[in-house]
Structure 1
Amino acid sequence: MVTDEAVLSFFREQLPVLGLLPTQSNALRIDDILQEYTEPEDLMPVIRKYQQVFGVDISSINMDNYYPWKVSWFFRKWFTKKPIKQTSHPLTVRMFAESAKAGRWLYE
């Protein structure tokens, strides 16, 4: 049986660490938005490997639903409190964990 922790561990091992040094504060969490955590060039090969490791049919994933993603620049919080309006949906490890349990991609 696939667990949330197994999928989270997989993504933690496969994706580059955010920041300079791996610590608890910058470790990937299950509900972190992957578009904000890593670049698409790093995420796409991991998704293909996820398909092989967990046996999930990912053919129905439409990446146009998740990209483009607008990432806030570091100093933005000092200039405005207005949130960024996203036109795409967030992509999280939890979505991959739930899909691994079902054996197919559940979201669209």
Structure 2
Amino acid sequence: MVTDIENAVTEWYETSYNVKPLFAKSAPVLTPETSLNTGKYPWARETGDEIMKDYFQHFNVDSSDFNFLSYWPYEKGILPNFIRPKSQKISQADPKPLTIQMLIDSAKAGRWLFD
């Protein structure tokens, strides 16, 4: 059974952020397993930050337990780690998938559930 919150989160993401990627024929099919940060069409960290801020405000979800870097970790970039000073070395971390279902579940609870 689909709840009002499930519909609201899905509709919010579909209308606000589920756009057709460059060179694709159509926008990705949205399912509860759709990931915002991994998979075929991940969002860049800047867009991910914008999406999550909008989500927390739009659905009045407490974000105090949300760790952005779990889902969009720092990337090493162009400068190799061996050239960086010790204080600026970046460890390579794989992002945890952040799915539509996680947004739905947290909106139902009113707080971020997954860190």
Q: TM (normalized to structure 1)?
A: 0.69
The one-letter code matched in structure 2 to 1:54 is F
Larger displacement relative to structure 2 (90-99 or 46-55): 46-55
Q: Deviations over 1:79-99 (max 9, x none)?
A: xxxxxxx72210011101100
- Alignment of 1:54 with 2:68, yes or no, is no
How much does 1:107 deviate? 0.5
Q: What TM-score do you get using the length of structure 2 for normalisation?
A: 0.65
Structure 1: runs of 5 or more not aligned: 71-85
CA contact (8 A) 1:15 1:42 kept: no
Matched-pair contact (CA < 8 Å) for 1:2–1:101: no
- 2-11 or 49-58, which deviates more: 2-11
In the alignment, what sits opposite 2:13?
Answer: 11
1:33-68 Cα offsets, whole Å, 9 max, x none, are 111332222221121111121110012111121123
Q: Which runs of 5+ in 2 are unaligned?
A: 76-92
Counterparts of 1:31-50 in structure 2, within 5 Å, are 31-36=33-38, 37=41, 38-50=43-55
Partner Cα distance (1:35, 1:91) in 2: 6
- The residue type equivalent to 1:87 in the other structure is D
Q: Kindly provide the amino acid, as one letter, of the partner of residue 106 in structure 1.
A: L
Paired residues, number: 92
Q: Distance in 2 between matches of 1:18 and 1:62?
A: 28
* CA RMSD across the alignment: 2.5
C-alpha contact (below 8 Å) 1:16/1:42 kept by paired residues = no
**Secondary structure at the counterpart of residue 12 of structure 1:** helix
In 2: Cα distance, 1:12 partner to 1:30 partner? 12
1:12–1:27 CA contact under 8 A, matched in 2: no
- Cα distance, 1:22 vs structure 2: 7.1
